[in-house]
Structure 1
Amino acid sequence: MSGDGAAEEPLYVRDPGAWREQLAEGNRIQARKRVAAKVLLQDEQGRMLLVDPVYKPFWDLPGGMAEANESPHNAARREVNDEVGLIVEIGELLSVEWVAPHGPWDDLIMFVFDGGAVTPRVARELRPRDPELQAVGWYTLEQAARPLREDVWERTRHALCALEDKASVYRYRQ
């Protein structure tokens, strides 16, 4: 407040250049988050698509890491196309999960989107298109518990519940 009782204008109103500099400094020093986007794709029988990456000991949902300045939505679409050659309409956000740092990795924000259902023909013909994958398969919820790592199984189960409940969920894992 100034001496006459009037509120002082914020610096950025008076000096847009100073405001931009302040934002740039914040952008330079603030934490960067890794972002990954997965897609829950189902066939007409309600089974979900899982992929078997060559660089992991467990299966996973299709999807992967977002590139610099890429939205999670676009990363999900790009990754599914890269991995199995399918151009899919990315639907509603099912879950967001903060994953704590682990092993050599910093923390991560994981998004899971609804990819809808594919026709029986598309389901039969899906094959790995990315050398990072060695196989794809269709699994019921019960069957998926075996090839998925425990945390991925939990993420998948919560995404399926969110799809059924028509309500996104937020989770965090310490």
Structure 2
Amino acid sequence: MRPTAPDPADTDAWNAYLAEGNAKQARKRVAADVLLRDPSGRVLLVNPTYKPGWDLPGGMAEANEPPEQAVRRELMEELGLRVTLHGLLVVDWVAPHGPWDDQLAFVFDGGTLDEDQAHRLRPRDDELSEAAFVTAAEATDRLRDRIRRRFEHALKARDAGRPLYLHDGAPLM
């Protein structure tokens, strides 16, 4: 027999009941990246020092941090860059792999930087060794498989004007 939920009017009991349920709920890791271009249409990639291969700028969300805020924070910390996000391009559910639980990975459209911003862009902390604007073809050569698939679909979503939902890098809908 299931216990009956307390009366919501009893705020303390109701909050305790909800907290117990919340503690049993799954937690998701959240990554938030951004697709940024220079005036020539090249895309920005970064080379992290803590893992192999190139990546899109962005990173992991902190506890209770919205994905769009996470990507803005990461861009400021790592590149000293403030951007206006122009919408969501991709949500990718990533299955558990290796030691990692599943994850939700977001890619936002960061638009186009002006010539001065693009020219001054440099890594600002020790998490990045390089930042470079490259053509889409060069990006697909530099990115690891999982990120490459997400990147390619982000370009398609930008061109189509609507976000895509991916399941391990492949469109589900």
Aligned to 1:114: 109
Aligned to 1:23: 18
Asked whether 1:73 is paired with 2:80, we answer no
Asked whether 1:58 is paired with 2:53, we answer yes
Asked whether 1:82 is paired with 2:77, we answer yes
Query: 1:62-100: per-residue Cα shift (whole Å, max 9, x none)?
Result: 000001111101001000111111011122011101111
- In 1, are the aligned partners of 2:6 and 2:17 still within 8 Å (CA)? no
Aligned to 2:27: 32
Question: Shift of residue 15 of structure 1?
Answer: 4.1
Equivalences for residues 7-22 of structure 1 within 5 A: 12-13=7-8, 15-22=10-17
Asked whether 1:145 is paired with 2:140, we answer yes
Aligned to 1:7: none
Question: Shift of residue 112 of structure 1?
Answer: 0.6
The TM-score, its normalising length taken from structure 1, stands at: 0.89
Q: 2:97 aligns with which of 89, 93, 102?
A: 102
SS of equivalent residue, structure 1 residue 49: strand
Q: 2:87 aligns with which of 83, 92, 98?
A: 92
2 CA distance for matches of 1:130 and 1:106? 27
Query: 1:125-170: per-residue Cα shift (whole Å, max 9, x none)?
Result: 1111120100011111111111100111110111111111110111
1 CA distance for matches of 2:87 and 2:9? 41
**Tell me, which stretches of 5 or more residues in structure 1 are unaligned?**
1-9
Task: Count matched residues.
Answer: 165
The TM-score, its normalising length taken from structure 2, stands at: 0.89
Aligned to 1:5: none
**Tell me, which stretches of 5 or more residues in structure 2 are unaligned?**
none
Asked whether 1:173 is paired with 2:171, we answer no
Change (3 A) 1:22 1:103: same
1 CA distance for matches of 2:6 and 2:160? 46
Of structures 1 and 2, the larger Rg is shown by 1
The percentage of aligned residue pairs carrying the same residue is 53
Change (3 A) 1:14 1:134: closer
- In 2, are the aligned partners of 1:76 and 1:90 still within 8 Å (CA)? no
Question: Shift of residue 11 of structure 1?
Answer: 5.3
